[in-house]
Structure 1
């Protein structure tokens, strides 16, 4: 049941192979190990895709593929999760990361004046071609919060996927046993 659910959403290997950035990885991306739909490959892909997908870094899709190649997880699921960070989700993701970081470093949540101050520092730094001061204390708070947020959500999706998979197997097994009992 879980297997069929995931298989119904997955693109074909040829479709993924034709993506421009996949040419970097050559035929390794077409390895059958990366296309298996089983409990281990799907849950690993959920962890990898969620972790890298939450982090607002350039080329996170390439990092997802590289990590999936190392851990032999399901490639399409990992790639689909790279879209977690998008214009609709970036504000809640960053807000939660700042909130987590502020709790860890025991600082007050950022306010409008802090953001305007950092914005002016960045503008000044750009105008002076990289010369000037940028207060990185907010970056430390954000980076710490993002890493923790990414790890927590990745671990949660990993566990939920494993539980869902187990539940669907038990349900299918029980349905099969009930059907056999009715036919006897």
Structure 2
């Protein structure tokens, strides 16, 4: 079953609680509910981890840990999904976000030069601690698209997790019934 697989695959409670990130959470890191493995805890952790994992924001693991503690969902699963945005996936994530944004604002799909220009403006703005110019007409398309994309994929992965968990339980029941 999925629960036994996750219990063997996930790191131990003590190992994750000793991480520096977990020290920021203090006593909340020792809450047994954020280590609990059941269908709803895992599915909600998948939602939180996918949502923040698809947003290319700094320190998204901190947001995942914070929301996992607030909603008392499985923390290791949520933190694992923080790796959704990485150097290999960031380009498709941003491209799809621009596509969603163009559909929201009813504009034509922008080309590569426009995307690179916006990313350069955002990078310059961050490096100069908020000083600089950003063409917000394109940035709002990207930001809106990122949030819509993150929400859609989080709902999709949440639903798929619930379905797959249920199917694994049904398969285990059928296997047990056929063995008698």
TM-score after normalising by structure 1? 0.88
1:44 Cα offset (Å): 0.6
Q: Does 1:65 align with 2:65?
A: yes
Name the counterpart of 1:97: 97
**Which structure 2 residue ranges, 5 or more long, are not aligned?**
none
* Alpha-carbon separation, structure 2, partners of 1:17 and 1:120: 38
Superposed, 1:67-146 pairs within 5 Å as 67-115=67-115, 117-118=117-118, 133-146=133-146
1:26 Cα offset (Å): 1.1
**Which structure 1 residue ranges, 5 or more long, are not aligned?**
none
Q: Does 1:152 align with 2:152?
A: yes
Superposed, 1:157-176 pairs within 5 Å as 157-176=157-176
* Alpha-carbon separation, structure 2, partners of 1:127 and 1:22: 28
CA 1:126/1:165 → structure 2, altered by over 3 Å: closer, same or farther?
closer
Deviates more, 1:116-125 or 1:76-85: 116-125
Q: Aligned residues, how many?
A: 180
* Alpha-carbon separation, structure 2, partners of 1:81 and 1:126: 25
Name the counterpart of 2:21: 21
8 A Cα contact 2:118 2:139, kept in partner: no
Larger Rg: 1
8 A Cα contact 2:50 2:82, kept in partner: yes
Deviates more, 1:54-63 or 1:43-52: 54-63
CA 1:24/1:177 → structure 2, altered by over 3 Å: closer, same or farther?
same
1:117 Cα offset (Å): 4.8
Q: Let me know the Cα RMSD of the aligned residues.
A: 2.3
Q: Deviations over 1:49-97 (max 9, x none)?
A: 0001101111211111111111110010001011111111100100000
* Alpha-carbon separation, structure 1, partners of 2:129 and 2:62: 29
